[in-house]
Each structure stands twice: as C-alpha cells, then as structure tokens.
C-alpha cells in the first residue's frame, strides 16, 4: 500500500523515514524488506512505505492493527471495500462459469455491454472490455486511428491516462514519460490545461483560463488539420473542475476539424462526481468514453471502452484482443457494482455529501491563510495549500506535514501537484465518518 502519492512534490524521503520510525512494527518491517527485495522499483509505488492486512468499507488496516479511513483507494473503492453483495455475486459466478475463452460469448459479458450502452448518453453503444484502464485507453486510440485514418492526438500536459506506451504518450505527467529511452508515440501533441490560478495562459481567472485553453485547442486542431482525437478527463482528477461552456467549445472545435473527442472517465465516472458520468455536468457527449478502476467494485480489474455506433469500423483489425475481455466473473462484478451504485443512489449521495464536505473546507479556508482554494465535484475534492492566499504560491512543506499528521490520526489520502490534498472517499461513507475525517484535516491544517 502506497500511503502517499504526490505529483511535483518536494523530497518527502525524510518525512517518510520519520513516520516509519514512529510506527515501527517488526512484522511490517520484514514484509516491507521482502517487498523491496523482490519487486522492481519505480516512482510512486515501490519501495512501499507500509503494509496492508485488511480492507473493509472505508477502512484499511496494516499488519500492526492501525486503521485508516482511505480517501485515496486508487479510485477503485466507490462502493467501499468488500461490499457483501459484490462478494456473493463473485462467488456465485465462479461456481456457475469461471471463464470464457475468447471467441466465445457469455450472458454476463453481453449484459454488461448492453447495460453500459443503455447508461451512456447519445449514441454511445459499442463496447470492448479490457483488464485495466491503460489498456482501454490503448483501444480507444487504435479505434480513433482506424476511424479517422489519422494518427495524431492532442491532450493536456500534466494529465495521466495510463502506463502503456500509447497511454504514456497522450499523458503529460513527467513521471510516466521520463526514463524511457527513445521517443514515445509520434504525433502526440499537448496543450497546457485550464487552471484556476498561476495559469500558463497568463490569467488568474478560471473563466478566462478556460476560454484561452479552448481557443488554443481550436487553434492546434486547425493548424495541424489532421488530428485523430482529443483525449482528456472531463473533470481532472487532481481535481480541477472545468468552467461552464468549456467542453461545449471543445466539442464544437472537434466537430469542425473532424477530430474525435475521447473522455477518460476512469477516475471520475460511475457516480463519483454526483452524476453517473462526470461529462453529464457539462452536457457534452464524447465520441468514445473510457471507464475503469471502480468498475470492478474494488475487487476485480476490468475496464471498458464505449464508442458511438458509427465508429464500429475496425472489424478487419485486432484492436483489443485481451484474454479476459469477456470474463464472466469480472463482467458480473461490474454489473453488480453498477447495480449497487444505482440502487443505493450513490451518485446523489456523493453530490449531497460532497457539497457538505466542500462547505466545511471553505469554512476552513476562512480560518486559515494557507488554504488557497477548495474545489471539486461530489466526493472528489481538493484543498490547495499555499504560502499565503494573496500570492497563492504552493506550500509543499505544509502539505507534507498535514499529510503525515492526518495519517497518524487515521486518515489516508493523496497529494496532487505537490500541494493539493486530494480527497476521494467511498460513496458509501457515513456522514459521521466524513465529518470525523474533515475534522482531522482541519486540525492538521490549523496546526501549520
């Protein structure tokens, strides 16, 4: 379990060592050493900084019995960990039909594809399944090439879309692009994203930033003239919420220049933002929508590509042959997860609890000069820590201190961009637990 995830962070190695020293536990130390000895090391996930022994509901527990509310969860735990209904469905399916070889279909896979086609907006109705979001992005990129006869893409700097070569190419995070000898995919163009302040377009207004960003996207699409697809998260998971009208402008620009619009809803879909799909907030339908992470209910890996029917043009090519593409167990897990989300009203619950949480964090903003912004939708929201609100300079050191104080008090989350506390609890969280977590954050921030 990686208990901290930061992008663009200052060196946190000493803080991690100090925390581990205070929390030392012999069995944990032994397992961590075995892990470090056997796994390839890479940024953000290994070597690990702690262990995990249990995961249930909103809680994770380490080998020493320390429990943490998990407000990170790698975006898989929308319905919490180990939902009883999901575990029972998986057990039943394993007894009925544990696997389906490729070129054979099964009821669960077809029903999941039909359900996703029903739930997605517009004419999105043709589906492929993969075992992870990164692979699903690869399928979307191949499909865009096949449909347009073009190979270029446009996407945002600093975005993350997966770890494959195609996904890394359209992604813009340095961590996933550096250290690889030679070029990534040719034709992978990038623009700066919109931003609430310190904007690369020279304005501190979100609305002005969004207009400038949309204009730049339109300019690049026109200037290049042969871009197959623009790919982005409809709400960036850092998190950054688009200004009203932004995506409609981008949709119109894509339509003018024959460019497909791909929405990566891997972290933000399935109710997290208060609507079933994050793009519904902006009234824009993409040509291709990608889901993953929470689709397997926090137990099994499965992702999906849902394209409009007119893009079913790759019948003569192999664009997504995956061994588990129609696995009855993973597809039943996804169907059950969707049913839980819908029947328990979790998108509506995310909207209500998210409004409550952000209101509390805005009250904290009024009490602390170091809270520069509070932003998000539903139960994915961020608290930006700054040196002072007037200059809005990122305060990485404070974010690090706040993180470890919260961890010691039983709350785990991730830090984005080095100074944004990114909070993404399960949609099933009780309001009392949410308030308890917010109190932990408030105390840590006010301690300075």
Q: At residue 48, does pLDDT exceed 90?
A: no
Order across the sheet with 59-61: list the strands. 54-56, 59-61, 67-70, 411-412
Give the pLDDT of residue 347. 98
The DSSP code sequence of 320-373 is: ---TTTT-HHHHHHHHHHHHHHHHTTHHHHHHHHHHHHHHHHHHHHHH-TTEEE
Q: pLDDT value at position 177?
A: 78
Q: How many CB atoms lie within 10 A of CB 55?
A: 18
Compute the mean pLDDT over every residue in the chain, rounded to the nearest whole number. 92
Q: Is the pLDDT of residue 25 over 80?
A: yes
Domains in the chain, CATH or no CATH each: 13-79+346-446 (3.90.1150.10), 84-343 (3.40.640.10)
The β-bridge partners of 236 are 240
Stretch 213-235: mean pLDDT: 97
DSSP assignment of 379-392 = TEEEEEEBS-TTT-
pLDDT confidence of residue 153: 98
- Does residue 235 have a pLDDT over 90? yes
pLDDT per position as a tens digit, 96-152: 999 999 889 999 999 999 999 999 999 999 999 999 999 999 999 999 999 999 999
Express each pLDDT in 330-366 by its tens digit.
999 999 999 999 999 999 999 999 999 999 999 999 9
Q: Can you read off the two tokens belonging to residue 125? A: 């109705």
Cβ atoms of residues 265 and 280 within 8 Å: no
Q: What is the pTM of this model?
A: 0.94
Look at residue 24 in the predicted model and tell me its pLDDT.
75
Q: Which residues contact residue 232 at a Cβ distance below 8 angstroms, ignoring those fewer than 6 apart?
A: 155, 156, 159, 262, 263, 264
The secondary structure of 72-133 as a DSSP string is -GGG--TT-BT-HHHHHHHHHHHHH-----TT---HHHHHHHHHHHHHSSTTEEEEEEESSH
The pLDDT of residue 8 is above 50: no
Report d(CA 80, CA 59) in Å as an integer: 8
- Say how far apart CA 136 and CA 322 lie, in whole Å: 10
Residues 6+ apart with CB under 8 A from 393: 386, 387
């Amino acid at each position: 379990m990686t208990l901290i995830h930061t992008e663009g962070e200052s060196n946190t190695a000493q803080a991690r060592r100090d925390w581990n020293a205070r929390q030392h536990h012999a069995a944990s130390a032994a397992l961590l050493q075995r892990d470090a000895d056997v796994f390839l090391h890479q940024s953000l996930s290994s070597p690990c900084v702690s262990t995990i022994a249990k995961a249930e509901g909103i809680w994770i527990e380490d080998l020493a019995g320390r429990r943490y509310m998990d407000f990170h969860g790698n975006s898989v735990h929308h319905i919490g960990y180990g939902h009883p209904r999901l575990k029972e469905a998986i057990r039943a399916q394993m007894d009925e039909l544990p696997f389906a070889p490729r070129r054979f279909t099964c009821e669960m896979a077809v029903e999941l594809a039909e359900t996703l086609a029903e739930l997605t907006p517009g004419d999105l109705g043709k589906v492929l399944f993969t075992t992870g979001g990164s692979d699903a992005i690869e399928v979307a990129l191949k499909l865009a090439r096949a449909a347009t006869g073009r190979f270029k893409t446009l996407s945002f700097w600093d975005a993350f879309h997966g770890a494959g070569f195609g996904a890394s190419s359209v992604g813009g995070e340095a961590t996933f692009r550096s250290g690889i000898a030679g070029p990534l995919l040719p034709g992978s163009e990038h623009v700066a994203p919109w931003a609430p302040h310190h904007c690369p377009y020279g304005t501190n207004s979100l609305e002005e930033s969004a207009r400038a960003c949309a204009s730049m996207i339109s300019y690049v699409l026109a200037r290049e003239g042969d871009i197959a697809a623009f790919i982005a998260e409809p709400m960036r998971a850092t998190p950054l919420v688009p200004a009203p009208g932004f995506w409609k402008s981008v949709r119109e620009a894509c339509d003018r220049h024959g460019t497909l619009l791909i929405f990566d809803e891997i972290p933000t879909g399935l109710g997290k933002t208060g609507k079933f799909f994050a793009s519904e907030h902006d009234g824009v339908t993409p040509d291709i929508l990608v889901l993953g992470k929470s689709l397997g209910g926090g137990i099994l890996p499965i992702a999906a590509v849902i394209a409009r029917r007119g893009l079913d043009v790759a019948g003569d090519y192999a664009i997504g042959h995956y061994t588990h593409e129609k696995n009855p167990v993973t597809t039943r897990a996804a169907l059950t997860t969707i049913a839980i989300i819908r029947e328990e009203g979790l998108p509506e619950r995310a909207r209500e609890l998210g409004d409550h949480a952000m209101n509390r964090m805005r009250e904290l903003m009024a009490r602390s000069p170091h809270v520069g912004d509070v932003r998000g939708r539903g139960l994915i929201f961020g608290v930006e820590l700054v040196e002072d609100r007037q200059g809005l300079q990122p305060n990485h050191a404070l974010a690090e201190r706040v993180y470890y104080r919260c961890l010691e008090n039983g709350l785990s989350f991730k830090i984005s961009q080095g100074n944004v506390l990114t909070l993404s609890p399960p949609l099933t969280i009780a309001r009392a637990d949410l308030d308890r977590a917010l109190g932990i954050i408030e105390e840590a921030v006010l301690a300075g």
